[in-house]
Structures are given as C-alpha cells and as structure tokens.
Structure 1
C-alpha cells in the first residue's frame, strides 16, 4: 500500500508482509517471508494492527540475530512511572499528528475532506466514551496501548491502575488528534484542547530526555556496532567507517557520544580539511563529506532513531568544497582501450599465477563488452557462465560476492568473447576464475580477494602506459561502455539493465529484459579489433 511499508492488499484483506533475513530464518520456522492477514480491509484499522505485527517481528528478529536473547528481551521490560507513560503517549501523538498533517495536505476534494472529518469526529466520540467507561475501551485504543507497551518495553498488568491511566491518556490523545486533523483540513490555527499535550509539556520532555542521556556515557563505536548489526552494510563499509569513527574518537579524546557537540564535529571537519592526510595537506572536501562526516552523521542519526541519543550533533555539518574540475572525459579513449586490450594478448610473466594470468587476459575484455563494475567481473565463477534460452550469458550474483546494488542480473555475452574462446575457459573451472581462495593469503569480507585482483589490474594498466591520472584504469571501461552504447543507439533501458544501473522511472523497474533482447542490443557494439602486434608496435 502506498505510504505504508510492509502493508499489502490481497483481495479484500490487508496483509502484513516482510522478508526474513537468511541468518534469522530458523527462528521463523525456516520461512523466507512472513505473511499475516490483518483480518480487515480497512486501512484505518490495518495501520494499528500493522504496528503490532511489526513490533512482534522486530522482537523475534532481534532475539534471533543475537542482539538480545528472548530472556533478555523479557528482562528488559519494566514498570513505567506515570511521567514515563505521559512522555510515551506524547511521543506517539506527535508522530500521529505528523501523519494526519500529511493526510490533510493530500485532501483536495471537499467531499472526501468532509467524509474524513466525520470519521475522525466519530473516532473522537468513541474514544471519549471509552475514556469515561475506563476498562471498556474501543478496539483502536487497545491496539495503541498494546503497541506502546511493546515499543517502550513496559510491563503493565491489565488490572494495574497504570494500565487504566495509559488507556485514558491514549483516548484523550485520540480526541486531540481528531481535533488537530479538523484544524489542518480547515486551515485553522492549531489550538491544544488538552493541557497534557501542550507545547510546554513537550519542552519539558525534551529537557528530561537530554538530562537522562547526558548522565550516561554512550560509546560512539558501540553505537556504530548497533547500526551495523541492524542495517548490515557492506563489509568494506563497516571496515572503513569503523576506522573513520575511531579517528574521530582519537581527535576528541573520548568515546562518549553524549559529550559530542556540533562544535566538536566542525573542529574535526576543519582538521580533516587542513591538517589530516599525507604530509598534513588535508583531505579533499568530497572525502571529508562523503566518507568521514557521513559515517558520523549516519551513526548518530541511527542512535536518535533508536532513542539512544536525544539529538544528532553532526546533523548540520556540511562541507562546501569547490566543484571538482574534470580535465577530460571519464571513460577510456580509443587509444587507451586498444592499448589495454592489445596488452591482454601478450604472454604473461612466467611467475604470474594462472588465475592472475586469466584476469589479465579476460577481465578487461569482459568489462569492455558488459560495462560491469570490475569487482563484479573479478569474482565471476565458471558456473556463472550459462546458456539461457539459447543465449550465452554471465550471471552476476551476490552469491559470488558483494554487489553494490545487491541485485543479481544476467548479461548476454558479446559474440566476440565467444569467438575468442571464453566459454572454454569458463567450462574448465566451475569455481572462481580469477583467483584461488584456497591458495591466496589474506583477504577478508572487508577486503575480498576479488578486490585485490581489481587492484592488481589497475596497477598493471598503469604499467603498460595508460597513465593519465584523470581516468580510472578499471572504472573507465564502465564510462566508455555508456559512451559507445549511445553511439550505436542502444536501447537506454536495456543499456542500464546490462550495467546494473537503477531504473530511471518506476515503470522501467517492472518486468525483466530477456537474454535474447539483451543479446540483440549487445551485438550493436562494434568489435575491438586489436592484436598483440599492435602492442609491440607501440
């Protein structure tokens, strides 16, 4: 359903649907996906049921992935104070009012506005009746109470006076929300009906929250560990960001996120720009903004979202560097392409490993005819070269190693690759073609063998004379592929699918490109006619 993640319509019913990570499937009975009917076709009812199902899913997922065991989850519940209950209900109401304001902004039909207003008036009357009765609350109130109890890990028995107080506060919050919606639709000034939800109460909540956070040290690196467990970024990202956050900790002289101020972040930014780096010359604005500051901002933002910090001290930090000047096109030019491809046909050094020799011979050709990222090719396995519906293809898959988009794709092979004998090379070894994991030393998730092969090829390309620092020795093929494909009027949608670029429109994201359609477009690319003699003539 638009605007509601994990909510789908199946016939007349709405369904909670969410994929289960592979490492947690044992806790979900081996299921790859959870699908639970919410038992209603009403979006208003389903919203609240969705929160309940999502909370259950998250609790089970956290326990299954080792973040917390089921026992720890239970032990971490507590009986809240009256003040804590009021703060929690105010937080819920602020979120709900925000959603109501968005809904009101989308209403451009008077009839629909009137219908929605009547719905909220009815809800307010029902909630008011439930609040007076006490224990006999309306169904929606019960859902919200249950959701808040799970969200904040409160332990409140149904007959406890705190439970009755929570229920009444939620009912009063629903009445307040209905009134706010009417004000938004009518364009009226915001008027608070219930003093419990006044701006002054929210201000006091923020002060108490800041005070609580300031009294308990929170490790910056531990926050990053929490973010990494939940979001599962690429191992290379984890490795780099941990190094960058450690640099901030060293610069600050402490590892306490609660002590970090916006001024500390700006001081670190200035240090990186003017004193860090080789010879104390400073790092580029792009590196500081997109790597160092990004690591800090993202970690603190996750901490705020998960109620570990009250504010993000890095949220306003920016790097306004000069726009990068490009001295030339980013793709390899004709001479550079011919130089590299001709060099692949020359005999490799005697002591070069068979895998490195294959990488020199084939990776540049595969990059030239597919426009793939170099590490997508260096992690290719022989079994990934398959015939599909009579078309020879390579299957670029996360199963072989990390892919930037995390999406597998099948790419048709150019006939020139087949004519050169690449199919025989693939058939001879179903495992990794360009490195041997069993023989290589080193390597890790953050620095895999396939990346080392790409680094070796980049160094080799520089050695054979493609030395212009303004073009990347491997990634230049990716830019060149786009240029050549435009020259031959290759279908833009197919071109992007071949390279693994995101669809430009939602419509282009539908369906697949068949191997036959892809081969038809691939064959538009002219052959690179080079020989080893060309290299010798240079």
Structure 2
C-alpha cells in the first residue's frame, strides 16, 4: 500500500518526505507482522506507537510528528477514490501520545562565543588528502551556513556548477531543499574574501562536498546527508557547544536573528532561508536576485579573532 502511495505521490511530495515516511511505515509493517492492512485498528496503531516510545526509546514528540503523521497520511490516501478505496477507514486518525511539557533551556541561536568557536574551528580544519571532501565540508559549510542560513543538507548537496554569476551577482543555486523548491542565495562578500570562489574554481565538476565514489548506490541515506551528520558530530567533538543548541541548524536561527537586527525585511529573510511566507498575498511577491543581493549586503560580517590577533570575517 505504501509503495502505491509513493508512486502516486512522487510528483506531489518532496523526495525527503517519501523517504522519511518509508522508515515509519517499515516499522509499522514489522509490527503488523503480515496482517492485512484492512484489519488494523486504532488500538494496533496506538500499541505500535507505545512500543516505539517504551522499547525503542523514541520521544513521544518525534512519534507524533513523524511516525503517526506518516501512517495516517498513507491510510487517509488509501481510503480515497483515487486509491481505489483500499481500506474503509484510517486507523491512525486521532491517535497521539501524550507529550511531556518541555521548557526551552536556552535560545536556539548561537552565542557570540559559540559563533567564534565554530567558525575558528572551520577556518583551522586540517586538509585530508585521503578524504578531501570531508575536510572541505568542515572548512566551508559552517561559513556558508553562517552567511546564508541554509540547511546543511542544502549546502552539502552543492555542485560546482551551482555556484554561478549573473548580472555581476555571484550566488548559490540550492537545488536540493527540504520543500523540494530550488532557490538562489547570493554569496556574501566575506565568503569571497575568505577564498570560497577559489575553492570552487579549483574543484572538479560535480559535487563540492562529497565524492560519489565513496558511497554505495541504493543507500537510503544520501552522501550529502552523511556529510551533514559527520559535520555535526565533528563540531560537537571539536567545540564545547551547549547541548541545547544544534551545531548545524543553529545557523538558521542565528542568521535570521542577525538579519532581523540588520533591518532586512521579513519577505527577503524568508526568501533567502527558504521559509514559507506568512500570507497568500506574500506568495505573489517573488524577490529578484538583485533584491536578495542588496539584502545580503546589509547582513553584518562575523568578526572572529584569530590566535595571531588578525581578524577573519
């Protein structure tokens, strides 16, 4: 049933969504142990969810947000006429686990000391002749995230040909995004001064931050995702980072907060970071590359004190 749904939704859902749902459905399918989908009940779905929480140690929030959404979406589709009404009802409808109240222990943006520590570590990342793309990820992706607010997987998917210049504006073309909608992000002048374009020019055609030859075909985890997770682990090991902030995703919060302080208007902040706009009217507004570039000029540089007292930006 899931494979039929995935085939039907292939042009309607982001690939990452289908991939995420697949893991949840496999777990539920293993729990069902070969039973006919038409015989499954709400009690079955709830028992599976409880097992995910109590046996596998997955948080109630993650189960509600991911697993139950996936199962409910598949069954809801299967009840429709377009699917041939494969099942009579949706056993996951209304099922949810109680979630403990979580109080945020700190803000999600990086503090100045954390910004300095991460970017310093990135600047000092040692070249790795045995795995050059891994060292490239460590060297450049934190800086790219710091000056764009892009998701790490969007950056680790960049290819040499995605770095372009049009009408005097150099930008990243982010092809692989969470929403499935590509977007262009102007490259901040500070990144150019740091040598990012020299790195791109010296790179071979194809992916900038992973080597396809090092990854087997058919793996559910893409090479770009592997590199992003590896970067997160490396930052945790290298920098004394508060557990309450994410070493990669924290840049999205930090970029938007700094952009707000710099007076960059909300519509442009959303366009650069790929966030959904707040109203129907805003959807009719498509900021041009020149507008985005002018906004990026306003974004403040990071003043990072090096050990030799020089300053990188």
Give TM-score scaled by structure 2 length.
0.90
* Contact 1:363 1:374 survives alignment (8 Å): yes
The root-mean-square deviation of aligned C-alpha atoms, in Å, is: 2.1
Which residue of 2 is the match for residue 141 of structure 1?
Answer: none
Per the alignment, residue 227 of structure 1 pairs with 5
| 2:88 corresponding residue in structure 1 | 310
The corresponding residue for 2:148 is 370
Q: 1:94-150, CA deviations, whole angstroms, 9 ceiling, x for partnerless residues?
A: xxxxxxxxxxxxxxxxxxxxxxxxxxxxxxxxxxxxxxxxxxxxxxxxxxxxxxxxx
Confirm or deny: 8 A CA contact 1:341 1:365 kept in the other structure. yes
Q: Report the counterpart of residue 55 of structure 2 in structure 1.
A: 276
Query: Where does residue 500 of structure 1 map in the other structure?
Result: 274
Match of residue 381 from structure 1 = 159
Helix, strand or coil at the partner of 1:442: coil
CA change 1:285–1:460 in 2 (3 A) is: same
Aligned residue number for residue 24 of structure 2: 244
Q: Deviation of residue 374 (structure 1)?
A: 0.6
What is the Cα deviation at residue 373 of structure 1?
0.7
Deviation at 1:512, TM superposition (A): 2.5
Q: Which residue of 2 aligns with 1:299?
A: 74
Superposition pairs of residues 179-198 of structure 1, within 5 angstroms: none
The CA distance in 1 between the partners of 2:177 and 2:32, in whole Å, is: 35
| Partner in structure 2 of residue 395 of structure 1 | 173
How far, CA to CA, are the matches of 2:208 and 2:23 in structure 1?
A: 32
Cα-to-partner distance string for 1:400-456 (whole Å, 9 max, x where unaligned):
xx321111211111110111121122222342111121x213364631111111111
1:522 pairs, out of 291, 296, 300, with: 296
- Does residue 220 of structure 2 align to residue 446 of structure 1? yes
Between 1 and 2, higher relative CO (CA 8 Å, sep ≥ 6) is seen in 2
Unaligned runs of 5+ in 1: 1-222
Shift of 1:234: 4.5
Q: 1:489 to 1:352 in 2, by over 3 A?
A: farther
Q: 1:308 to 1:502 in 2, by over 3 A?
A: same
Partner of 2:208: 433
Task: Report the structure, 1 or 2, having the larger helix content.
Answer: 1
Tell me, what secondary structure is at the counterpart of 1:394? strand
Higher Cα Rg: structure 1 or 2? 1
What is the DSSP-based 3-state SS (H/G/I as helix, E as strand, rest coil) of the residue aligned with 2:214? coil
Q: Relative to structure 1, is the Cα distance of residues 263 and 370 closer, same or farther in structure 2, using a 3 angstrom cutoff?
A: same
Q: Check whether the contact 1:235–1:446 (CA below 8 A) recurs between aligned residues.
A: no
Tell me the distance in 1 between the aligned counterparts of 2:111 and 2:165.
32
Relative to the length of structure 1, the TM-score reads 0.53
Cα pair distance change 1:445/1:251, threshold 3 Å: closer
5+ unaligned residues in a row in structure 2: which ranges? none
Aligned pair count reads 303
Distance of 1:370 and 1:363 partners within structure 2: 10
